[in-house]
Chains A and B, each alone.
Chain A
Amino acid sequence: MHMADALVSPAVGGTLWAVAGGLIAFCGRKVRRSLRDNLVPLMGVLGAFIFAAQMINFSIPGTGSSGHLGGGLILSVLLGPYAAFLVIASVLTVQALFFADGGLLALGCNIFNLGFFPAFIAYPLLYRTIAKGQYGTPRAWVAATVAAVVGLQLGAFSVVLETTASGISELPFATFVLMMLPIHLAIGVVEGLATAAVVSFVAQARPEALPAAPAPAGAAATLRPVLIGLAIAAVAVGGVASWFAATHPDGLEWAMAKVSGKEELAAPAAGIHQSLASLQAKTALLPDYGFKGAEAESAAAAPAAAEPKAWPAVSAGKSVAGIVGGVMTLALACLAGLALKAHSQRRPSGNN
């Protein structure tokens, strides 16, 4: 459920970048203060382990399909929430950079969805409460399954919220929720069982590798950062909504308002996006280049690529112009690419 850049608006992406950045800074400070300097290599190597583990599948009995470890929960069990969050964030960063698995703008969303919920909600509130420091017992298996399911459900719900708030997909909120949650229920069960299986193997083979049962005081101490995290999340959600409202004069609704002539539409809450979408579908014409040209004309007298007079043409003409121009631009971009490539290959490769 890694969100791609192509589905995230800058407002949503930016807000969650800020949230994820704040959490990373917070966790970084916490980890530095923990005085366990062996955490530095341990975190890195465990991040690499998660990558490798994700490539190994097991068969899910009776379904013919297979599953693998996601990683958020097991990292929290092994490292505690702060270090685990940093590791998850870096796993997602490498996935985004090298595998285009989730984008750069969407990175904040993905870190939040897949890092915050397992590390700061599912692990401290559910896993630790239920497992009570046990490993490999039925209690621990239940704890892992419940925690993984809830963590992934929250993450999936968050994906839906972010996608809807971005307003790029037409999927109605309710439909999207109904689609995402059942899928992630199944994924959560698989994740929980896989986590429990690995942890109980380690508990048998080398119990000293697992953290000892936490002292009661430790449990209380982890609650505060969770509350802080929740507060940040609340602010973030508010921020997304308000930022969204503030920025849409530049966005889709601005275009809509222009087309439909109804300015009051320009201030929807994030939740009623789908009704706007259907309304827009009724009113919008093919992207109207005309008004953008006019805007450009009035906003800046800078010489555009075309004569300003050519812009306000009839609607059909404009769409044709858009298509022709688009195709031409693509062709030009490709030609430019070829030229640049030829140019760069003519240059002596030199030494760097």
Chain B
Amino acid sequence: MSHHLVEVRDLSFAYPDGTEALKGVSFRIGHGGSVALIGGNGAGKSTLLLHLNGYLATMRGEVRIGETIVTRETAALARRAVGVVFQDPDDQLFMPTVAEDVAFGPLNAGLPPAQVETLVAAALERVGMTHLRERPPYRLSAGEKRAVAIATVLAMSPDILVMDEPSSNLDPRARRRLIGLLQSFEHTKIIATHDLELVVEVCREVLVMDAGQIVAQGPTVELLSDEKLMLAHGLERPHSLRHVQPH
């Protein structure tokens, strides 16, 4: 059975103060897909991501991860299948040391200590941060923090990786390493970002959001080089696609 499928149908959500953040969002991402979620600030990207692991309960519509419809009861299951890397690694790295932070998820899943050890070592190895094991997170550079934050999620062996602004605050070298890392992942990926160059390199498909709705969905190069579409939703065509003529 595959959990790699993500399906969202007619999802709507309003915050307690009345702000309508999502207005009937629908999309479907198949196994191994890599999808970018783009759109201006306040378009509803983060709110949408918080529904994928059941942190926000669906008000209307449904979210389906593999065979499971995400509800309050199945949220724990969804959280094992969907690993979320949040925008600010300082929010994500809350434990005293890097190793304890990476172990946090597997321990909550009830795995035995020996297996947790192995998972921690493997996840840190995967992102190339083994040497930081015993360091407290606040002493790390932005790039290191980001890599460790990804490791904390990888250690839970999720089927789907969800990332919110993974390249924010990174210097060019750290950003380059991140892109390499993301390209190497086999997981289904959903990446919310303003970094359209990263989208070009990492994602095959793009969802464009504006004002709580999905306004366009399609192959990356095709959508991102559509100057009119980009400008209409507060975005711009990436430099690397300057030569590409829209259809």
Q: Which residue of B lies closest to A352 (CB)?
A: B134
Task: Check: B94 CB closer than 8 A to any chain A CB.
Answer: yes
- Nearest Cβ in chain A — how far from B152, in angstroms? 15
Interface residues of A in 181-201 (CB under 8 A from B): none
CB closest residue in chain B, given A45: B94
Determine whether the beta carbon of B94 is less than 8 Å from that of A208. no
Over the window 1-35 of chain B, the binary record of Cβ atoms lying under 8 Å from chain A Cβ atoms (1 yes, 0 no) is: 00000000000000011000000000000000000
Contacts of A208 in B (CB 8 A): 16-17
Q: Tell whether A303 is near chain B: CB-to-CB under 8 Å.
A: no
- Does the CB pair B16–A41 fall under 8 Å? no
| Interface residues in B89-111 (C-beta closer than 8 Å to A) | 94
Least Cβ distance of A236 to chain B in Å? 33
- Residues of the B chain whose Cβ atoms lie less than 8 Å from the Cβ of A41: 94
Residues from 288 to 346 in A contacting B, C-beta threshold 8 Å: none
- Give complex CA distance A199, B8 in Å: 41
Question: Would you give the shortest CB distance from A117 to chain B, in whole angstroms?
Answer: 31
Q: Which residue of A has the minimal Cβ distance to B94?
A: A41
* Smallest beta-carbon distance B76→chain A, Å: 13
How far is B94's CA from A41's CA once the two chains are assembled, in angstroms? Answer: 9
Q: A213-255 interface mask toward B, CB cutoff 8 Å, 1 = contact, 0 = none?
A: 0000000000000000000000000000000000000000000
- A41's nearest neighbour on chain B, judged by CB, is B94
Q: Chain A residues near B16 (CB, 8 Å)?
A: 208
Q: List residues of B (62-101) whose CB comes within 8 Å of A's CBs.
A: 94
CA distance A208 to B94 in the complex (A): 25
- Bound-state CA distance A208–B15 (Å) is 12
A1-60 residues at the B interface, CB under 8 angstroms:
41
**Which A residue sits closest to B16, measured CB to CB?**
A208
A41 vs B95: C-alpha distance when bound (angstroms): 11
Q: Which residues of A contact B17 (CB under 8 A)?
A: 208
A208-B16 Cα distance, complex, nearest whole Å: 10
Q: A206 — nearest CB in chain B belongs to which residue? A: B17
In the complex, how many angstroms separate the beta carbon of A196 from the nearest chain B beta carbon? 25
Residues of A within 8 A of B94 (CB): 41
Expressed in whole angstroms, the Cα–Cα distance for A208 and B17 within the complex equals: 9
User: Whole-angstrom distance from the CB of A5 to the nearest CB of chain B?
Assistant: 26
- The interface bits of chain B over 215-226 (1 if a CB of A lies within 8 angstroms of the residue's CB, else 0) are 000000000000
User: In chain B, residues 144-182, which have Cβ atoms closer than 8 Å to a Cβ of chain A?
Assistant: none
Cα A277 to Cα B65 with chains together (Å): 76
A41 to B17, CA, bound (A): 24
Give the distance to chain B from A306, nearest Cβ to Cβ, in Å.
Answer: 47
Q: Smallest distance from the beta carbon of A177 to chain B beta carbons, Å?
A: 42
Expressed in whole angstroms, the Cα–Cα distance for A168 and B17 within the complex equals: 58
Closest residue of A by beta carbon distance from B91: A41
Chain A nearest CB from B99 CB (Å) reads 14
Cα distance, A208 to B18, chains bound together (Å) = 13
Q: How far is the CB of A191 from chain B (nearest CB, A)?
A: 29
A131-156 residues at the B interface, CB under 8 angstroms:
none
Closest to B17 in A: A208
Q: Nearest Cβ distance between residue B107 and chain A, in whole angstroms?
A: 15
Q: Least Cβ distance of B126 to chain A in Å?
A: 23
Alpha-carbon distance between A188 and B46 when the two chains are bound, in angstroms = 43
In angstroms, Cα B94 to Cα A286, docked, is 55
Roughly how many angstroms separate A132 CA and B16 CA in the complex, as a whole number? 25
Which residues in A have some Cβ–Cβ distance to B below 8 Å? 41, 208
List 3 A-B residue pairs with CB atoms under 8 Å apart, sorted by A's residue number: A41-B94, A208-B16, A208-B17
